[in-house]
Structure 1
Amino acid sequence: MACGGFACSKNCLCALNLLYTLVSLLLIGIAAWGIGFGLISSFKVVGVVIAVGVFLFFIALVGLIGAVKHHQVLLFFYMIILLLVFIVQFSVSCACLALNEEQQSELLEVGWTNTNSARSDIERNLNCCGFRVFYANATCAADCLRTLQCRPCAPIMEEYAGMVLRFVGGIGLFFSFTEILGVWLTYRYRNQKDPRANPSAFI
C-alpha cells in the first residue's frame, strides 16, 4: 500500500512511539547510572529526570496501544497530550537557545543558591569551591581544598553553560518537531478506515 494509507500511518506512528519509548528508557537509565557511579547525589535532580522518563514512557505506551488497536479514545488523548508537550518543549527549547551570557549567569546563580546537594556534586566533579569567591575555611567536597588552591565554580560553569544550553535547546527543538509530526500522524490516522474492517462500520 502506498505511503499515506492506513498501514503506512499505523507503522509510522508505531515507529515514532518506539523511539519515544527508547528515549524514556535512556533517561531513566542515565539517572540510575548517575546515582550508581556517584556522579549525582541530588535526589531532586534524579527524581525529575526519572519522572520525565516515566511520563514519556506512559505517553509512548498510550500512543503505541492506540496505534496498534486503532483505538479512537486513546488516540485522541494521546494527540492532545502530545500537543501540550510540544508547546511546553518548544517554548523551553527556544528559551534555552535565546539566553544571553548575563541571563545564563543569573540562572546558574539561582540554581547554585537553591540546591545544596547538587552544589556538592558540582564542586566534586569540577574540582572547584564556592560560586564566585573561594574561601579557605569553607566546607567543600572538592579535592583541591586539601591544597587550598581551588578556583571558584562560576567561571568553570560559565565556560560550558552556553554549550550545554545550545545542546539541550537543539535536542529539545528536534524532538518538539517529532511531536508535532506525531500529532499530525495521529490526526490523520484517526480519520482513516481500517481496510480489514467492515466497510459499513463507523470509524
Structure 2
Amino acid sequence: MVCGGFACSKNCLCALNLLYTLVSLLLIGIAAWGIGFGLISSFRVVGVAIAVGIFLFFIALVGLIGAVKHHQVLLFFYMIILLLVFIVQFSVSCACLALNKEQQSQLLEVGWNNTNSARTDIERNLNCCGFRVFDPNETCSSDCFRTHQCQPCAPIIEEYSGMVLRFVGGIGLFFSFTEILGVWLTYRYRNQKDPRANPSAFL
C-alpha cells in the first residue's frame, strides 16, 4: 500500500529528521574525538566540522518540531532550507566524483600551501615530510625527520585522495537524495489536513 496518509507522511518526516539528528551528532562527535586524541590539531577544520554538525542539527530540529506540530511556517522554512542544502550538496558531491588525478593534485597542493596546522597533522600521521620534495632544512613533526629518511607526502596523499573523494562524493550524493525526499515529503505533508483537527479549520 502506498504511503499517502497524514500519519504516514508525518512518521516518515519524523524518521528522516531523526536520521539527520543522528548524523549531526555523529559529525560533532567525530570532530571532538579527532581533536581529543590529537589526530587533528587544526581548530579551523574542527570548527567547520562542528559548525556543519550544529547547522544540520538545528535544521533537523526545525523539521522535527514542524512535523510533530504540523506547523505550516516551520515546515515552509524547513523545506526552503533543505532545498538550498540539496542544491549545494548535490553540486559538491558531483564535483568530488568528477575530479580527475591532475585536478586532485592541484587542489591538494593548494590546500597544503594554505594550511600550516593541517600540514603538521598530515606529516605526523602519515610519517612524511614536505609535499613534493623532502627538504631536511625545513622543520617537520614526523618521526622519520630525526633520521632524515622521509619521503614526500604527495604520493601518499594522492594514493588515498581518489578513494576518499569517491567515498565523500558517494555519501554526499546519497544524502542529497534523502534531502530531496524530505522536500517532497514536507511539501505533501503541508497540504494534508490533520484528520483529528476541526474539519472547518483552515490548514
TM over 0.5: yes
Contact 1:97–1:166 (CA under 8 A) maintained in structure 2: yes
Contact 1:21–1:61 (CA under 8 A) maintained in structure 2: yes
**How far apart, in 1, do the equivalents of 2:23 and 2:90 lie?**
17
CA displacement, residues 119-156 of structure 1 (integer Å, 9 cap, x when unaligned):
00000000000000001121001000011110100000
CA displacement, residues 48-106 of structure 1 (integer Å, 9 cap, x when unaligned):
00000000000000000000000000000000000000000000000000000000000
**How far apart, in 2, do the equivalents of 1:112 and 1:190 lie?**
47
Per the alignment, in what secondary structure is the counterpart of residue 176 of structure 1? Answer: helix
User: Which residues of structure 1 form unaligned runs of 5+?
Assistant: none
If the length of structure 2 is used for normalisation, what is the TM-score?
A: 0.99
**How far apart, in 1, do the equivalents of 2:146 and 2:170 lie?**
39
How do residues 20-99 of structure 1 correspond to structure 2 at under 5 angstroms? 20-99=20-99
Contact 1:6–1:194 (CA under 8 A) maintained in structure 2: yes
CA displacement, residues 15-43 of structure 1 (integer Å, 9 cap, x when unaligned):
00000000000000000000000000000
Contact 1:129–1:140 (CA under 8 A) maintained in structure 2: yes
**How far apart, in 1, do the equivalents of 2:53 and 2:151 lie?**
35
The farther-off stretch of 2-11 and 34-43 is: 2-11
Once the 2 structures are TM-superposed, how far is the Cα of residue 2 of structure 1 from its aligned partner? 6.5
Per the alignment, in what secondary structure is the counterpart of residue 152 of structure 1? Answer: coil
Distance 1:162 1:57, change over 3 A: same
Per the alignment, in what secondary structure is the counterpart of residue 149 of structure 2? Answer: coil
**How far apart, in 1, do the equivalents of 2:37 and 2:30 lie?**
11
**How far apart, in 2, do the equivalents of 1:129 and 1:104 lie?**
19
CA displacement, residues 148-181 of structure 1 (integer Å, 9 cap, x when unaligned):
1101000000000000000000000000000000
User: Which residues of structure 2 form unaligned runs of 5+?
Assistant: none
Contact 1:2–1:8 (CA under 8 A) maintained in structure 2: no
Aligned-residue identity in percent = 91
Contact 1:79–1:183 (CA under 8 A) maintained in structure 2: yes
**How far apart, in 1, do the equivalents of 2:137 and 2:107 lie?**
26
**Pairing 1:174–2:174 present:** yes
**How far apart, in 2, do the equivalents of 1:158 and 1:118 lie?**
16
Contact 1:136–1:148 (CA under 8 A) maintained in structure 2: yes
Contact 1:20–1:57 (CA under 8 A) maintained in structure 2: yes
If the length of structure 1 is used for normalisation, what is the TM-score?
A: 0.99
For residue 138 of structure 1, what is the aligned residue in structure 2? 138
**How far apart, in 2, do the equivalents of 1:192 and 1:163 lie?**
44
Once the 2 structures are TM-superposed, how far is the Cα of residue 4 of structure 1 from its aligned partner? 1.0
**How far apart, in 2, do the equivalents of 1:2 and 1:99 lie?**
39
- Aligned pairs, how many? 203
For residue 15 of structure 2, what is the aligned residue in structure 1? 15
Once the 2 structures are TM-superposed, how far is the Cα of residue 3 of structure 1 from its aligned partner? 2.2
The farther-off stretch of 1-10 and 150-159 is: 1-10
Runs of 4+ residues deviating >3 angstroms: none
